[in-house]
Structure 1
Amino acid sequence: MSQSIIFRTMTDADIPRGLELCRIARWNQLARDWKLFLELSPQGCRVAMLENQIVGTVTTVRYENRFAWIGMVLVDPIVRGQGIGMQLLQQALVLLSDMPSIRLDATPAGHPLYCRLGFQDEYKLSRMELAVPASITSPTSSVARPMQSKDLPAVAAMDREVFGADRRLTLEWMLAGAPEYAWLITRQNEILGYSFGRHGYNFEHLGPIVARDQPSAQQLVTACLQQPSNRPFVIDASHRTLEWIDWLESIGFRGQRPLLRMFYRGIPFPGQPQNQFGILGPEFG
């Protein structure tokens, strides 16, 4: 490598290049996603520079003082194989050196790299894609209702228990950006489940999908898919039960790629993974 790599904090001015790297990698993020990373973590996102050109990115998000998330590890293909991805991850670990736990969702390609840095496996996920949305009908009318802003305090309180930390700002961002995928199921003032979603470059991304039981999760997905759309959908689904994956496949979803949730330094706040039927996304947790 003729020039040394320079690392610096990412800014709003770097978003167009971040989007270019997303398109090269065929990732789904929009400018709105990058802006949220920078709002949540103004000093926690880094870029790698080579000859005044951004050739790599990494994002970090702190969830309270409980754990942090690493995401958006992107490296331009023209400079891959030169250790830039490893250096970006090391930059992220330095930024998060005061956090008791660091987590991420690894692709098969990234898994060996994370293992070398000391990350350990937590549990499996699968990205499931519905390439051609069909009309999904429930045996009975859906019990889910559209979520409203006034529901967010109670939803965020439950989400903190299930996810393991507070992320109300992100949930507000999701409700504002794609209200058609924000659904809620309640019974006698108790929340049985909720869903969110967001728009993307390649597909509509459903998640988080949180529920006390699988029938409620199915109702939430059904409500989302009944919204008018001619775009494909994805869900990053947990392997909570084989029945859950089987049900997604029965309505047309197919496995796109496996993911593996990993942790560094321990998991003092694991949340309730048994109630997470679909995560928000690998870049957010």
Structure 2
Amino acid sequence: MRLRVMRQDDIAAGLRLCRASQWNQVARDWELFLGLSPEGCRVAIDHTGNVVGSVATLRYGNAFSWIAMALVDPAHRGAGIGTRLLEEALSILDDVSLVRLDATPAGFGLYDRAGFREEYRLQRMQRTAHTPAERVSAPPARPMADDDLEEVLARDQEAFGADRRALLEACRRDAPEYAWVTGQGHIDGYLFGRRGHRFEHLGPLVARDEGTARRLVAGCVAVYPDRPFILDVPPHASWVGWLTSLQFVVQRPFIRMYRGERRYHERPDQTFAIAGPEFG
């Protein structure tokens, strides 16, 4: 088994790995990784030349880096491929003082042994029922306009702790119907989203308070009540309870983990849904 840089013509193999693990990513997600980090993605190749594993890395400026898309073909698990891919990802990011990721429960042990420590827990919530969204009082959320973007990006850098302009601009280009804001005179909250294989993925969702976050989700879901959605959220009882009232149910947990020096500043109190375990 050998590793090499992932290429555009590996995307079909990357999707095969996603489907084998029942992950939600589509080709556009792989394209984003290869566009944002062209030298930072790897595939594992077996002796027949087939792709049997993958890993992707991203750098969020000088704040921290990210590891994602760590996948191994089910037929090749248990052979140390996941460990090799993680070691390669850490080697790529060797010059970065802080590395972060969102682990599945199955992957937690691998990352724990590699020196990652738990930051906090997340829950994936999914909605498949075609149920009208809760009615919310004024001021309602509205679709994001071009003039909103700079204020949103500045707010996001404060909330996320790093600059992810390129990612959010791509999300808005690819799925403008999921880009929403709320606020009069200034932005109180914003939502982005991406298309997915089985579910449309909402997030990041950043808001000054839970009421603002509710308006953003309700506004989007009310326009597209027949679409299945997922959000990856902090497990706050009132927030999860409200999502449950919209027919969201808990699908699976994630564990946010880090390795290195935690010197960045973020606003987890204002983050009601992350961009996803792929992007943080």
Tell me which interval the TM-score lies in, with the shorter structure as reference length. Answer: over 0.9
1:206-262 Cα offsets, whole Å, 9 max, x none, are: 1001001000000000011012353311100113x3111111112211111111100
1:89 aligns with 2:66: no
In structure 2, the gaps of 5 or more residues are none
Question: Residue in 2 aligned with 1:269?
Answer: 264
- Give 1:270 deviation, angstroms: 3.9
- Aligned pairs for 1:25-174 within 5 A: 25-51=21-47, 52-141=49-138, 143-174=140-171
Length-normalised TM-score, structure 2: 0.97
2-side partners of 1:115 and 1:228: how far apart? 40
One-letter amino acid of the counterpart of residue 268, structure 1: R
2:197 and 2:95 map into 1 onto residues whose CA distance is 35
Contact (CA 8 Å) 1:125, 1:238: kept in 2 or not?
yes
Distance 2:136 2:151 in 1: 29
- Identity over aligned residues, as a percent? 49
Distance 1:138 1:65, change over 3 A: same
- Whole-Å Cα distance in 1 between the matches of residues 246 and 144 of structure 2? 24
Counterpart-to-counterpart distance in 2, 1:152 and 1:231: 25
CA distance in 1, matches of 2:138, 2:186: 20
Which contiguous aligned blocks of 4+ residues in structure 1 show a shift greater than 6 angstroms? Answer: none
TM-score normalised by the chain length of structure 1: 0.95
- Where 1:256 maps in the other structure, the secondary structure is strand
Corresponding residue of 1:232: 228
C-alpha RMSD of the superposition: 1.1
Distance 2:251 2:81 in 1: 27
Counterpart check, 1:251 vs 2:231: no
1:195·1:207 contact (CA, 8 Å) conserved in 2?
yes
Letter in 1 for 2:256: R
Give the stretch that moved more between structures: 229-238 or 51-60: 229-238
Cα distance in 2, alignment partners of residues 77 and 20 from structure 1: 11
CA contact (8 A) 2:43 2:54 kept: yes
1:133/1:233 contact within 8 Å kept: no
**Residues in 2 aligned to 1:91 and 1:33: alpha-carbon distance in whole angstroms:** 21
Q: In 2, Cα distance between the equivalents of 1:168 and 1:178?
A: 15
Instruction: State the distance in 1 between where 2:45 and 2:242 align.
Output: 45
Please say if residues 143 and 181 of structure 2, whose CA atoms lie closer than 8 Å, have aligned partners that are also in contact. yes
